[in-house]
Amino acid sequence: MGYTSNNINALLCFAALRRTNSGAWMPTSLHPMPLPFSWADQERHLVGHLSALIRLDTSNPPGNEITVARHLSRELSRSGIAHKVLESEPGRANLIARLPGTGQEPPLMLLGHADVVGAQPGGWSRPPFSGEVADGRVWGRGALDMKGQVAASLLVMQLLAAHRIPLRRDVLLVVTADEEAGSRLGAYWLWENHRSLVEAEFAFNEGGGQRFMTPGGPVYTVQVAEKGSARMRVTARGPGGHASVPRSESAVFTLAEALLRLRAFAPESVLSPTARRMLSTLAELHPGAGAEAIERLTQEPTWARAHSLPIDPVLREFVVAGMHNTATPTVLSAGHRQNVVPVEASVVLDGRLLPGELPDGWAERVQKAVGDRVEVSLLHGRVSTGVHDDPELLRVLGDTLAAHEPGARVLPYINPAATDARAFPDTKVVGFFPSASDADIMRLIHAPDEHARITDLMFGGKCLLDAVLRLSA
Binding site for Zn ion (CB under 5 A): 145-146, 206
Question: Considering beta carbons, is residue 147 or 286 the nearer one to Zn ion?
Answer: 147
The residues pairing with 430 across neighbouring beta strands, listed in sequence order, are 204
Separation between Cα atoms, residue 473 and residue 471, nearest integer Å: 6
Which residues lie below 8 Å from residue 458, measured CB to CB, with a gap of 6+? 39, 42, 43, 46
Cβ at position 145, least distance to Zn ion in Å: 4
Which letter does DSSP use for residue 438 in this model?
B
Question: Considering beta carbons, is residue 14 or 188 the nearer one to Zn ion?
Answer: 188
State the residue number with the nearest CB to Zn ion.
Answer: 145
Neighbours of 200 (CB within 10 A): 22
Question: Considering beta carbons, is residue 206 or 456 the nearer one to Zn ion?
Answer: 206
Question: Considering beta carbons, is residue 7 or 210 the nearer one to Zn ion?
Answer: 210
Cβ at position 371, least distance to Zn ion in Å: 37
Separation between Cα atoms, residue 446 and residue 423, nearest integer Å: 22
8 A C-beta contact, residue 431 and residue 223? yes
Question: Considering beta carbons, is residue 75 or 206 the nearer one to Zn ion?
Answer: 206
Cβ at position 276, least distance to Zn ion in Å: 28
Cβ at position 146, least distance to Zn ion in Å: 4
Question: Considering beta carbons, is residue 205 or 214 the nearer one to Zn ion?
Answer: 205
Question: Considering beta carbons, is residue 254 or 415 the nearer one to Zn ion?
Answer: 415
Residue type, 227: K
8 A C-beta contact, residue 87 and residue 152? no
8 A C-beta contact, residue 269 and residue 301? yes
Q: In terms of C-beta distances under 8 Å and separation of at least 24 residues, what long-range contacts does 131-134 make, across chains too?
A: 131/50, 131/51, 131/52, 131/53, 131/54, 131/55, 132/51, 133/47, 133/51, 133/454
Cβ at position 113, least distance to Zn ion in Å: 6
In this structure, what are the phi and psi dihedrals at residue 442, rounded to the nearest 5 degrees? -70, -15
Cβ at position 239, least distance to Zn ion in Å: 46
**Cα-Cα-Cα-Cα dihedral of 155, 156, 157, 163, to 10°?**
100
Cβ at position 446, least distance to Zn ion in Å: 9
Question: Considering beta carbons, is residue 65 or 145 the nearer one to Zn ion?
Answer: 145
Which residues lie below 8 Å from residue 169, measured CB to CB, with a gap of 6+? 101, 102, 103, 104, 105, 106, 107, 108, 201, 471, 472
| Alpha carbon distances (Å) from 90 to 62, 67, 206 | 11, 12, 26
Cβ at position 381, least distance to Zn ion in Å: 22
8 A C-beta contact, residue 223 and residue 129? no
The residues pairing with 205 across neighbouring beta strands, listed in sequence order, are 431
Cβ at position 450, least distance to Zn ion in Å: 11
Question: Considering beta carbons, is residue 144 or 341 the nearer one to Zn ion?
Answer: 144
